[in-house]
Structures are given as structure tokens and as C-alpha cells.
Amino acid sequence: MAIRDGFSGSVGNTPLLRLVGLSAETGCDILAKAEFLNPGGSVKDRAARHILDDAERQGRLLPCGTVVEGTAGNTGIGLAHLCAERGYRCIIVIPDNQSAEKLDLLQTLGAEVRPVPPKPYKDPDNYQKIAGRLAEQLPGAIWANQFDNTANRQAHFDTTGPEIWADTGERLDAFVCATGTGGTLAGVARYLKGQDPRVRIVLADPMGSALYHWVKHGELLAEGSSITEGIGTTRITANLEGTPIDDAVQVDDPACVAMVYRLLREEGLFVGGSSGINLAAAVQVARQLGPGHRVVTLLCDRGGLYAGRLFNPAWLAEKGLAAAAGVKG
Ligand code: PMP
């Protein structure tokens, strides 16, 4: 299909890339779905589109309605594009410690941005809960609720999973994926296991997230912290519930940063930190499986969003990560 219908029609059907250097080094086929090529620049365009389609179908979102979401980034960017395209008002509640690039971009895309002080999830003034209350108070508004609205994982069950299955010629040994809301992992894992139960599902987790310990030992426990954005969680969201997961790999910041810069210098790919977590974990899984296997993961978003942080030598030096990146701080 050569012609796609606007922004909505351009979401998904991203290419599956073979990472040549990493494949040669491991003797495995290391494949990554280029989600940064979605029209809003990330994997979250898929969830955003599905959430709006679902709300429209159910008659909850009517013409000229309002979409409210609590988001630290990519979901808000996807929603802002879609709301502009479909004529909705878009309100984004965002923790005020997020990068200026993200706030500026959301505003440029026409969203009303409401920065709020960062608060833990259990606090009633957590940004997600503020978004929920705001949607309740505004007539004609819906709360996208990406964490617990399972239209999110359905997007990946309906699109990302089938695309990976088709593009690999129905042959892969493992799927590796980091989680924020859990939508991507949950939808893709369910789809792939339904096609072939032998496909190994591996969660890639940054430090400071509780899921690694949960998969390994059945208990939510978070230790440390991470510079990555958009991934890592301390609770089991409705999207994540019941996901078939075989194993988990934990990736620390130096390994993530080293991989992000390796992708840039050796593969020519300019992507964000969660892609570094995914690829570092994929290489570990490839080593566990041994040569001749095929491991699939995702390149979640573009590096440009992180220009002031991950791609800023002074910032990296401040975090003690300049050596990992191979830059002078
Ligand atoms: N990577 C990035 C850059 C993201 O913004 C997100 C979403 N917050 C993810 C990965 C994780 O995706 P999901 O919410 O489907 O778990």
C-alpha cells in the first residue's frame, strides 16, 4: 500500500531492521523494529491511536471532545498529533521535572500542557491521578489512562505482534522488551505466544524498576535508579496483568548508555535510552541462547528528545556516564 491516510494511517507497519554489527558479534540474528519511524516518533503512537479509536467506537469521545492524559512524554506527543488531526482539545498533565524539549514540543503540537510537581503513584496528587480527576470534571472529556486502559495492549496485539510475526517469516526464538505501561510487552507477548508458545518472552528492566525482581522472585522490589525515561515501573498495571513472561534481564545505566552510543556510531541509529536497554538486554539473551538464534526487540523512539541529557557530554559527565558513552565530559 503506497498511500496512507494522514497521521492516523501512517502509524505502524514500521520496518524490522537487522543490526549488522550486533548480529555478527553474537552469531545470532538481532532484529529491531524501528518504532522511532512512527509519524509521532515513537512506539506510543500505536497505543494513542488505539485508545482514541476505541473511545470513538464506544461513543465516549464525540466530535470536538477533549482528551486528557497524564504522561511524561511519548504518549502525549502521539495524542497531541492525533487530537490536532481529529479536532479534539488535548490536555497533558506532566511532571515538572521533564525535559524542556518535551514541554516545548507538546505545546508546539497544540496541546495544553499542565506541569505539576512530581509525586509518587500512591499520592493523590500524582500526575496520572490529577489527569483522571480533570477528565471527570470537564464535560465531553475522556481520560486516555494509558497505564490501565487495555486498549493500549490491544494496539500491540492487533498490530506490533502480527507485524513481527509476518516480517520474521513466522520464525523467532525470543522477544525482548522494556516496559513503561506494559502495553507493548503485554500485547506482543500474548500475540506471539498464541502463534508459537516456544517464543521466549524476556522483560528488559532498568535499575529502579520493580519488575525484574517480580519476574525472578515473584515480588515487586525496586533498587537503584536510572537515567532512562518512559520505562520502569513499581506496580503491575492492568495492561501488564496476566502477561506471559519467561525471564527478565536487568540493564544498568553504563550498559544502556554504551549501547545507545554504539547504535549511533556503528549502526547509524539515533535513538533514546529505552532502545539502549532493549538492545543491551537482547544481546544478553542472544548470548544465553547461543549462535544461530533470532532475537527481536524494539527501537522505541528518537534520540532528538534527549539532546539536553543523553546526548549532552556535560550532562553525561555530571552523571558519571561520559566514559560509558565514549565522550569527553
Ligand atoms: N520507550 C519509551 C521511550 C517510552 O516512552 C515508552 C512508554 N512510556 C516505552 C518505551 C514503553 O512502552 P510501554 O508503555 O508500552 O510499556
Q: What is the pLDDT of residue 97?
A: 82
| Grid coordinates of 204 | 528488559
Task: Report pLDDT digits (tens) over 42-61.
Answer: 999 999 999 999 999 999 99
Q: Which fold has domain 8-37+159-321?
A: Rossmann fold (3.40.50)
Our answer on whether the CB atom of 150 is closer than 6 Å to any ligand 1 atom is no
pLDDT of 1 strictly over 70: no
CA distances from 320 to 282, 316, 328 (A): 24, 6, 11
Given a contact cutoff of 8 angstroms between Cβ atoms, the answer to whether 185 and 215 are in contact is no
CATH of the domain spanning 43-143:
3.40.50.1100
Instruction: Give how far the C-alpha of residue 142 lies from the chain's centroid of Cα atoms, to the nearest Å.
Output: 22
Which atom of ligand 1 is the closest one to the Cα of 152? Answer: 15
Task: Report pLDDT digits (tens) over 86-118.
Answer: 999 999 999 988 878 888 999 999 999 999 999
The structure's pTM equals 0.97
Number of H helices, E strands in the chain: 14, 10
Domain ranges of the chain: 8-37+159-321, 43-143
Helical (H) or strand (E) element with 134? helix 127-137
For the chain, the 3-state helix, strand and coil shares in percent, each to the nearest 5, are 45, 15, 40
Fold agreement (8-37+159-321, 43-143):
yes
Task: Report pLDDT digits (tens) over 274-326.
Answer: 999 999 999 999 999 999 999 999 999 999 999 999 999 999 999 999 999 99
pLDDT of 83 strictly over 80: yes
Which atom of ligand 1 is the closest one to the Cα of 146? Answer: 14
Q: How far apart are CA 218 and CA 159, in angstroms?
A: 30
- Measured in Å, residue 47 CA sits from the centre of ligand 1 at 10
The band of 2, judged by pLDDT with boundaries at 50, 70 and 90, is confident
Q: Which of 215, 200, 246, 253 is nearest to 231 (CA)?
A: 253
**What is the mean predicted confidence (pLDDT) over 172-199?**
98
pLDDT of 72 strictly over 80: no
Q: How far apart are CA 228 and CA 272, in angstroms?
A: 8
Q: Which of 226, 228, 208, 210 is nearest to 218 (CA)?
A: 210
Q: What is the pLDDT of residue 167?
A: 98
